[in-house]
Amino acid sequence: MQAYTQLIAEGWLTGTTGSGTRVADLPGPGSGLAGVGEDPAPATARLAVDLRPGRPDLSSFPRTAWASSVRRALSAAPYEDLDYAEPAGLPVLRATPPPHAWSPALAALAEVVQEIQP
């Protein structure tokens, strides 16, 4: 209940007795939908952050470190590794770990996969 009260106080939700709680219609930047006497800056600041599920903060991605790692891996890889591999994948990646290293779920999955493979 406190979470709803807080979200209503911050303007994220609207609540009407007997009608339920709904997500507030927040004006976008420059929409001119802010009411008379309202300060549109708080709504604009809130909309500057994308909080939708599955949306990472791309500005925090370590591009320099990633590019350096890719450059290092590609310079060390033999040319044959850059060619198309077998459709089933590289043999080194398909190598089976010893059964004692498997979790019960992984062991069951491996059994099913081995039964399916020709």
Per-residue confidence at 75, pLDDT binned at 50, 70, 90? very high
Q: What is the pLDDT of residue 11?
A: 85
User: Which DSSP state fits 116?
Assistant: H
The residue ranking higher by pLDDT, 97 or 21, is 21
Closest Cα partner for 117 from 94, 100, 84? 94
pTM metric for this prediction: 0.34
Dihedral over Cα of 74, 77, 83, 85: its sign: negative
* Tens of pLDDT, residues 33-67: 445 455 555 554 555 667 778 888 888 889 999 99
Closest Cα partner for 22 from 38, 11, 36? 11
User: Which DSSP state fits 48?
Assistant: T
Rounded Cα distance, 1 and 27, in Å: 26
Per-residue confidence at 9, pLDDT binned at 50, 70, 90? confident
Q: What is the pLDDT of residue 31?
A: 52
